[in-house]
Every structure is written in C-alpha cells, then in structure tokens.
Amino acid sequence: MPLARNHTVRRRIFTVGSGHLMSTMRRLRGIGRLLLVGLVVLPAAAMAQSYYYGESTIRGLTAAGDPAIAKGGKPAVEGYLNNDTKYWWRHVQLRVEALDASGGVTASGFAWVDPQVPPGSRVYFKVPAPAAASSYRLVVVNGDMLRVSGP
C-alpha cells in the first residue's frame, strides 16, 4: 500500500508541475511575441524620427546661412546663429545639409559654432559644408547653456 500512495503523490506532483510548465511556456511565448513586435516597431519609429529635418532641437536657437567659399576653395556655409532664449550658449552643434534643386538632401555633416551667443542676439559663423550645393539647411542639434541673464 505505501508504494501505491507514493506513486499517486508522484503522479500529482508531475501533473501539477506539467500544467505549471505549460502555462509558463504560454506566458513566455506571449512575452517573446511582444519583444519581437518591439524589436520591429521601435527601430522603425527611431528611424522615422532621425529623418525629420529642419527643426532646431533647442527652441529659440536657430541658424540661417548661405553658400560660401572657404580657404583653399572648399565649400562652406556662412550665416548667423540667432539666440531668442534667455540663456547664453556656446559650442553650438549644427547639422549642415546640402540640398539639391528639389530640396532633397545630397550630403550632410556636422559643424560647431564656438563663440558665446548672448541672449537676444546673434553671432556670425562660417563653417565647412559637407559638399558643394546651391542651398543648405542648417539645424541646431546641441549646445552648452552657460547661465541665465537678468534677475
């Protein structure tokens, strides 16, 4: 008799464990599906954001420029960095995009404007261009905020 009871206990443990294992496997499959969807959707959303051009990432800090020639005959962009914020800025990073006649980007690169830009003013800059083009788009990407002006 004791042998039969142990056998029954073992069977119950195995049955409970098996059911628990199956529900765990179902949960893991569901989590795996969610992770797979996340791995597909999130990079697509990030790529869509990285191809949005034209708007400064720092509100009130904008750049405008025209084609120019740098030393050695290389293409450049010269213009003004406008600061409509209440902060001082320096080491401002610009994304410089060379545009074709239809407005498509043919080349892009980054440049830095180093002079300090006081609040409510503008600073002249001349930076290297990624390629020769008839027009350029300048986007403020980043910068170092120094201090708040006024009381």
Q: For residues 58 and 96, what is the distance between their CA atoms, to the nearest angstrom? A: 16
Q: For residues 131 and 1, what is the distance between their CA atoms, to the nearest angstrom? A: 90
Say if residues 100 and 106 touch (Cβ distance below 8 Å).
Answer: yes
Model pLDDT, residue 9: 47
pLDDT tier at 58 (50, 70, 90 boundaries)?
confident
Model pLDDT, residue 30: 72
What's the average model confidence in pLDDT over 98-122?
Answer: 92
What's the average model confidence in pLDDT over 86-93?
Answer: 92
Say if residues 75 and 129 touch (Cβ distance below 8 Å).
Answer: yes
User: Phi/psi zone of residue 100: left (φ > 0), alpha (ψ -120 to 50 degrees), beta?
Assistant: beta
- 16, pLDDT greater than 50: no
Model pLDDT, residue 56: 73
Q: How many CA atoms lie within 13 A of 135 on its CB side?
A: 9
pLDDT tier at 20 (50, 70, 90 boundaries)?
low
Residue 118: name the closest of 141, 150, 79 by CA: 150
Q: For residues 109 and 95, what is the distance between their CA atoms, to the nearest angstrom? A: 6
- 91, pLDDT greater than 90: yes
